[in-house]
Amino acid sequence: MANNLIRLWDTDPDSKPRERTRFADDIVGRFRSGRLVGKMPEALNEWRVTTGDPEVADKIAALMGGSAAEWETDKEDNLEILTDAPSVRIVIDSSADIDASMKKFGFQGLEHHCDGVQILSPEEEKGDLCGCPESLQDRKDRARSGKGPKPSIDVTFRLAADPELGKFRFNSGSWSLVNVLHDVFAAVDAYDGRPVLASLTIEHVAYTTKTGRDVAFNMPVIKVLGAAEAAQPADLPMAA
Ligand SMILES: [Zn+2]
C-alpha cells in the first residue's frame, strides 16, 4: 500500500513531522537534582529527568515512577518526569565519561574555564596559570560572589535497567561531589576501562554543628558497585 499522504507535506514542508531516529550513543535525557519554581531554585529529593523524546519519557516513568509533563524551556528536552526514585543504577563506560572542571559563565558565555590551577580553554591560553585562589574556602567564596568559577561535573551514563535506551547526562556544581571525585575516578579506573555498575543517588545530609546550627542539604553521590557485565538485570532494582 502506497503512502499517498506523504504528499501532504509537499505544499507545507515546515509542518512535516520530524523523523526521530534514536541511536544508543545519543544523549537522550538529563538527570537533574533541582528545578526552578518561579525564579527560585528548588533542590529535589528524587531525580527529575528531562528529555525531548516521548518514548524515553514513558520508559523513565515506568522505571522510576512519576509521569511525563511539559515544562517551559527553550531547549530540546521539553518533557520532564518528577520521578519517585532518589537513586538509580547506572552504567558508566569509563572515567572518560566523567568530566570535571571549573567554569564561570557571564554575558559572553564561558569566561573562566580551568582545572583550579591552569586554564583549560580557550586553546591559546591553555596551560597558563588561571589565578584562582589556593584554598577551598576562598574558591567557594569567590564563586559565591560571582567572581570565580564553580565546579562543573558532567557524568554520562546508561541506565542499568535499560542500557539500549541511550545515554543520559548529569551535570552538577556540587562542592561536596568535588571533594570525593578523586575517589570516584579511582573506583571507575580500578576496572581498567571496562564499564562499571554504579548508583547515582540524591543523598540528604542533615546535622547540627558544634555551635548548634542546623545544616541540611542534598548532594549527589556516585557509588561504584562493580563491573557492569557481571550484573544481571534481575539484580538491578531501581531504587536504593
Ligand atoms: Zn581558575
Domain-by-domain residue ranges, the chain?
27-96+152-235, 107-151
- Residue 237 Cα to ligand 1 midpoint, Å, equals 40
- Residue 43 Cα to ligand 1 midpoint, Å, equals 27
- Residue 150 Cα to ligand 1 midpoint, Å, equals 9
What pLDDT score does 26 carry?
Answer: 81
- Residue 205 Cα to ligand 1 midpoint, Å, equals 28
What pLDDT score does 10 carry?
Answer: 74
What pLDDT score does 14 carry?
Answer: 72
CA 40 to chain centre: 20
- Residue 40 Cα to ligand 1 midpoint, Å, equals 27
- Residue 177 Cα to ligand 1 midpoint, Å, equals 18
- Residue 213 Cα to ligand 1 midpoint, Å, equals 32
What pLDDT score does 233 carry?
Answer: 54
- Residue 120 Cα to ligand 1 midpoint, Å, equals 9
- Residue 124 Cα to ligand 1 midpoint, Å, equals 15
What pLDDT score does 9 carry?
Answer: 66
What pLDDT score does 234 carry?
Answer: 52
- Residue 129 Cα to ligand 1 midpoint, Å, equals 8
Question: What letter represents residue 158's amino acid?
Answer: R
Distance CA 104, CA 132 (A): 12
- Residue 151 Cα to ligand 1 midpoint, Å, equals 10
Closest CA relative to residue 130, chosen from 142, 145, 109, 173: 142
Q: What is the 3-class SS of the chain, one letter each residue?
A: CCCHHHHHHCCCHHHCCCCCCCCCCCEEEEEEEEEEECCEEEEEEEEEEEECCHHHHHHHHHHHCCCEEECCCCCCCCEEEECCCCEEEEEECCHHHEEEEEEEEECCEEEEEECCCEEEECHHHCCCECCCCCCHHHHHHHHHCCCCCEEEEEEEEEECCEHHHCEEEEEECCHHHHHHHHHHHHHHHCCCCCCEEEEEEEEEEEEECCCCCEEEEEEEEEEEEEEHHHCCHHHCCCCC
- Residue 133 Cα to ligand 1 midpoint, Å, equals 8
pLDDT (tens place) for every residue of the chain, 240 residues total: 456 666 776 777 677 666 555 666 689 999 999 999 988 989 999 999 999 999 999 999 999 999 999 999 988 899 999 999 999 999 999 999 999 999 999 888 999 999 999 999 999 999 999 999 999 999 999 999 999 999 999 999 999 999 999 999 999 999 999 989 999 999 999 998 899 999 999 999 999 999 999 999 999 999 999 999 755 555 555 554
- Residue 179 Cα to ligand 1 midpoint, Å, equals 17
Distance CA 81, CA 49 (A): 5
- Residue 115 Cα to ligand 1 midpoint, Å, equals 6
Distance CA 35, CA 231 (A): 33
